Amino acid sequence: MRSLDEWLEGRARAIARNTSRRTFLARLGGVLAGGAALPLLPVSRSSAGTGSAGPDSARVPAPDETITGPEGDPKSCEYWRHCAIDGSACACCGGSSTTCPPGTEVSPVTWIGTCRNPADGKEYLISYNDCCGKTFCGRCLCNRNEGERPEYHWYRNNDINWCAGATSQVYNCSIAVVIGQATERQPEK
């Protein structure tokens, strides 16, 4: 029976922690990483399209994905790319870490986080695109708030429903796309 106590306590901790997992994602337009012009408005209409900017043929440093355990599992909140995710992981919703579930739309604007890959020890820039147009997936709710900021600092806020920038503003889940390698961590703590 002792274990049951522990589960209950674990569950309560999960309740406490997971509440903000229900918060909803907000990220800086992927356009920034491509070096395009700074969007003065929260949504740069010119950034419409899929999140990762730049020509398809571009080759970039590739992370080592041979990781065992939760840090290597895109369905886990502990997946290494999920260091700044906020919402349902699309890998649990019919998508993957880089594909939205069937019938949804990739949000044109994203927030970018910097996550450390435990296999190669390098920091990567991650674009967290929302997948939009079907109602809330609800599975694999994940959240971390390191560096998260209130709505007046919009490109660091993860409460906002960033599907508001998409054709349909209904939030389904979030993906985590590697768009490059970073040399240092973000300034916000």
Partner 1 sequence: MRTSPSSPPPVVPLFALLVAAFCLAAPLAAEAPREKASVATLPPMGAHSVWVPDRLTLHNVLFDGDSGEVLGMVDSPSLITPKTPLLVRSRNEIYSVDIAHSRGTRGERVDFVSVYDATTLSFKHEIVFPTQSGSSNTSQQYAELIGERFIGVFNQFPNTSVAIIDLVEQRFVEEIVITGCAGVYPIDAHRFASLCGDGTSIAIELDESGSYKQLSRSAPFFDVIEDPVAMSAGRSELRWTFVSFAGQVHTIDYSEATPTVAASWSLTDEADQSDRWRPGGLQYVAVHRKSGRLFVVMHQGGPGSHKDAGPEVWVWDMATQQRVSRFESPNLTAAFLGSFMGVTEDSFLHGVLNWVLPSGGIHTIAVSQDESPVLFVRNGMLGAVGVLDATNGNSLRSLTEAGLSGPTLRVP
- Catalytic residue list contains 111: yes
Site membership for a second copy, residue 40 (CB under 8 A): no
Site membership for a second copy, residue 41 (CB under 8 A): no
- Catalytic residue list contains 120: no
Q: Let me know: does 137 contact 90? Beta carbons within 8 Å.
A: yes
Which CB, 12 or 58, lies closer to a second copy? 12
Q: Let me know: does 84 contact 142? Beta carbons within 8 Å.
A: no
Site membership for partner 1, residue 2 (CB under 8 A): no
**CA separation for the pair 168, 104 (Å, rounded):** 9
Name the amino acid, one letter, at 30: G
Touching a second copy, residues 1-20 (CB under 8 A): 1, 4-5
Touching partner 1, residues 159-188 (CB under 8 A): 159-161, 163-165, 168-172, 175, 177-188
**CA separation for the pair 181, 116 (Å, rounded):** 10
Q: Which residues are catalytic?
A: 111, 130
Q: What residues line the site for a second copy (CB under 8 A)? A: 1, 4-5
